[in-house]
A and B are shown apart, each in its own frame.
Chain A
């Protein structure tokens, strides 16, 4: 990377995460002013958006090639009081917590205390949601049976398609006008509402153009102030770009990226949608611009890379807006899950890999930034070169890019009833969520704690941590004679809690549709303009609601242990096990030992355990799949945890797989930490026993030491492992290259690392099986190989 990028990158890394009161103050000012009175809800939201963009500080960082910041400075992070308002106590926590902190200065504190909090307290969307929820919902929510995504952040979870690369905002306004012309006030009772929505969309489109012009003015002003003529020239070039896009369709590579970035900022300024926003299939969108300019001689490869790198830094300047309370534990990270997709297939189904795919991989490797996240879509049609290049980056222990199965993703979408071209234009976003880019609102609604439901089942509907009856009475432990009876009780409890969750979801969707439409986001997701319906109200072509199951490994191993020790072998009674769980295995050490060491575990390609996984999957799938949402779409399942397995673990006592109380659950569809002892092929075979094609995404994490990536031959074998998993319809796999710190932890807690294989010398062995001296040697060697 050149000097300019080095400096910008360093600045981004060193920028301090702060809370900025700017947006909250502007939105409060607007709602307090007369300008907000008498408007329809969509128009109120549009005018608030316009007010923010007209008045916010224009921040241009020295030397950057892509301009625009959400806050007044890099990592100055706004809040969204119309969604939820931060109290003094919240700000205090954010300022002082050990991890993922945001500094709050005195002026900000004062603004919240005197203006923002008093105005919004009791009037936020969060207040409306909490008020609308049933007592059963509140009980389950407090017990940690499920979480609620929309409580502190807006529904987003979507990705930009290819629309903006062919249409400027002025073209989009023409589409809006045409849609208004089409409205049928005689036959369509919603025509008035649609017109309000469409008018609101136009206001936001014009607001974005206005905001870009403000950037142009500032850049021109900066150009007159500098004595450096080449600097002045560069600033004027940037100003020209801001005058051109987003008003008009982009014609150059640079314009295309700047246009996307303005749209990105528009989406995350309008509200705080989950997973921010995302350019999606970036190599597909950018390559035509790049190739054309390369041919015309108007852009060199080095320039293109410099622009891309400057773009990457912009993502890193934008941490996820801070939450507090439960949602902070759900996803406690600065990452805002903007997942850039590389590779995959073209709309006609052919291999989509192009020169830009590999340029983006180079940028990812060189930038090594937390944000944006990146992934490679691997189809059977993509060349091995793509996967080998990806594995080479993974070798550096950076954890990115993750690898997704394009062919599975497309089949998942076809199963959900999407058009094949829309499916091929899609991919995965956030963590691993399947979606059609530019045409779908696929809302994650919350995580679902499967092991917690087993705990409640084993306590006849009572949550043992509060002694409160929150589930159904499905029988005392002494009543279960067969494993099938126990499983059937578990199924009833799952259905019970899923129904509570869905009832909540369908209420919350209406709270958003009625109070917080997003006319700006609706501009870029089809078919909101042609239908005249907002993104949150069902205007997108496809409308999916996901509920994400968590703790698959823990629940599978728990049921396996009960089936084996209680029902098949009758070595313990269910009451004995339940008592041991209640006491967190105190005075039950032999039982504990049998549960951990004498029980088949998921992740070892052992059907005794893996069949339990299929049972759980079917129960969960049948509870959720196909239940309607309010947006003319349906609920679907996902199997991913982000970091919620930690929070969910903290509310679950000891489990029959031998897990101690409060310890994290297993994550995604990965086996319980350390329970897989037959190597990665056995793990992926076990994981492939789930029917991934009936989900909207699964997450599998696989641990490797750097030795497995030692040379091209070794890398090839890891690539082939991935290909094999994908042949079995696996959705996603990501590699964690083990660090020396992890190895040190494995020395201290060997039971958590039963799966850890290290290369010794010409062969591999389980780390636990090595003598301490050799363990030390391998730790030393791994540390040496780290970057």
Chain B
């Protein structure tokens, strides 16, 4: 079943909270993973893998580099979800 934008943001916030310990309310569309949320490149991989499982999408390594903000990730997942 396709997820809505709100559901994806909420799910990502849970994932970022679990992996990087960032409060869920801080995970907003305009936030940069590295600059605002302090999610480093390795944690980003863990976030991506968790998101793949949760939203049933494939996010290849080459595409991970393009996901600068939470909004980028939400858009990517909405576009590619099964």
Question: Does A associate with B in a complex?
Answer: no
Residues on A lying within 8 angstroms of B by beta carbon are none
